């Protein structure tokens, strides 16, 4: 399925489009797009299509995270930024102090999924469990009905093949009379057998996960291991738990949340509880060349079709 989507996306770059391809843009146009890697695949194909239609244009795409992309837009080292829809407060302040107005255009939505090591027998967690695990109230896997020492490793979940149906509610044995967990002392580290893994604040799906799971009331436990996107996969060991965009599952095991799979269908239907909107950001006043690239992202026959072909939920 993923191969078919990739081939389809490749064909999109060669399809002629009346209208947008005929928009006159300055010769030797160079548009720099920076920001979230979650939009990277879509942005690269949009850039390829744009350059195919406008041979004199150069559109480059680079990562760095939402905050870095927005900062580059503010200081002028980038022409467009990509990231989670909604500008962080500190970036809004930086823009205001710099006299810069930023406009966001939502391009597509996707899921942020919870992942564990394939050796972990847990299959499903509730939103309440996730909140309590990531804020440090639940410290042991046994508190959610699983003893890792006595369980066998399951097969790895193929995120590309098993995300099209609402999963049946997993039956997880829990001790409903459990007492609130307390932080163990330094002499008993074996009690703290859940290793929470989170991203650095400027990377990955941190903003979405924090907002949707913990809200404004709680913060992620200071006991969490904070990693970069590059180090994330090595950090998900047999007792660890983390979160990532749906396309970043790779070799890890994806959990259902309240019995619902983080799939395109469930995001579109509003059934999956942890979703995010990805947007392209421009600085006002916008130049003709930047405006024409933005139109490619939003056009139903180009950017929106590309987003859909890569397993996202387009906005149009």
**Predicted confidence (pLDDT) at residue 191 exceeds the cutoff of 70:** no
- Cα–Cα nearest to 31, from 203, 281, 204: 281
CA dihedral over 246, 251, 257, 259, signed as positive or negative: positive
pLDDT at 88 (0 to 100): 86
Q: Which CATH superfamily is domain 2-110+276-314 in?
A: Periplasmic binding protein-like II (3.40.190.10)
Mean pLDDT of 33-62: 96
3-class secondary-structure state, position 288: helix
Decide: 302 and 45 in contact? Cβ < 8 Å: no
Provide the 10 A C-beta neighbour count for residue 171: 9
Tracing tokens 């309240």 back to the chain, one arrives at 258
pLDDT classification of 21: cutoffs 50, 70, 90: low
**Number of CB atoms found within 10 A of residue 99's CB:** 7
**Average pLDDT of the chain?**
83
Farthest CA pair distance, the chain = 70
C-alpha span between 121 and 146 (Å, rounded)? 7
Can you give the pLDDT at residue 32?
97
Residue that the structure tokens 């395109």 belong to: 264
pLDDT in tens, 282-307: 999 999 999 999 999 999 999 999 99
pLDDT for residue 20 is more than 70: no
- What does pTM read for this prediction? 0.76
Report pLDDT for 147: 66
Note the CATH architecture for domain 112-269: 3-Layer(aba) Sandwich (3.40)
- pLDDT score, position 64: 86
**Chain-centroid distance, C-alpha 128:** 21
- Collapsing DSSP to helix, strand or coil, 294 comes out as helix
Record the tokens describing residue 73, joined without a space.
Answer: 């837009």
- Range list for CATH 3.40.190.10 in the chain: 2-110+276-314, 112-269
């Amino acid at each position: 399925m993923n191969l078919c989507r990739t081939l389809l996306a490749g064909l999109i770059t060669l399809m002629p489009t009346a209208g947008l391809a005929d928009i006159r843009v300055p010769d030797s146009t160079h548009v720099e797009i920076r920001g979230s890697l979650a939009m990277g695949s879509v942005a690269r194909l949009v850039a390829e299509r744009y350059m195919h239609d406008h041979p004199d244009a150069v559109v480059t795409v680079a990562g760095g995270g939402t905050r870095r992309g927005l900062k580059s837009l503010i200081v002028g080292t980038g022409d467009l930024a990509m990231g989670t829809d909604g500008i962080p407060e500190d970036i809004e302040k930086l823009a205001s102090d710099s006299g810069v107005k930023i406009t966001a255009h939502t391009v597509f939505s996707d899921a942020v999924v919870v992942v564990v090591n394939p050796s972990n027998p847990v299959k499903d967690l509730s939103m309440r469990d996730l909140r309590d695990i990531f804020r440090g109230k639940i410290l042991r896997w046994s508190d959610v009905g699983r003893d890792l020492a006595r369980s066998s490793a399951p097969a790895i979940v193929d995120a590309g093949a098993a995300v099209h149906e609402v999963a049946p509610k997993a039956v997880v044995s829990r001790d409903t009379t459990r007492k609130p967990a307390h932080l163990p002392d330094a002499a008993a580290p074996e009690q703290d057998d859940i290793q929470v893994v989170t991203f650095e604040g400027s990377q990955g799906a941190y903003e979405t996960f924090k907002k949707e799971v913990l809200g404004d009331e709680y913060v992620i436990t200071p006991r969490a291991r904070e990693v970069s996107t590059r180090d994330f996969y090595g950090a998900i060991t047999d007792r660890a738990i983390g979160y990532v965009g749906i396309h970043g599952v790779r070799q890890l095991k994806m959990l259902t949340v309240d019995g619902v799979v983080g799939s395109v269908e469930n995001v579109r239907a509003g059934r999956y509880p942890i979703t995010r909107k990805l947007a392209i950001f421009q600085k006002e006043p916008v130049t003709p060349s930047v405006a024409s690239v933005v139109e490619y992202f939003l056009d139903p026959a180009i950017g929106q079709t590309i987003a859909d072909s890569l397993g996202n939920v387009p906005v149009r």
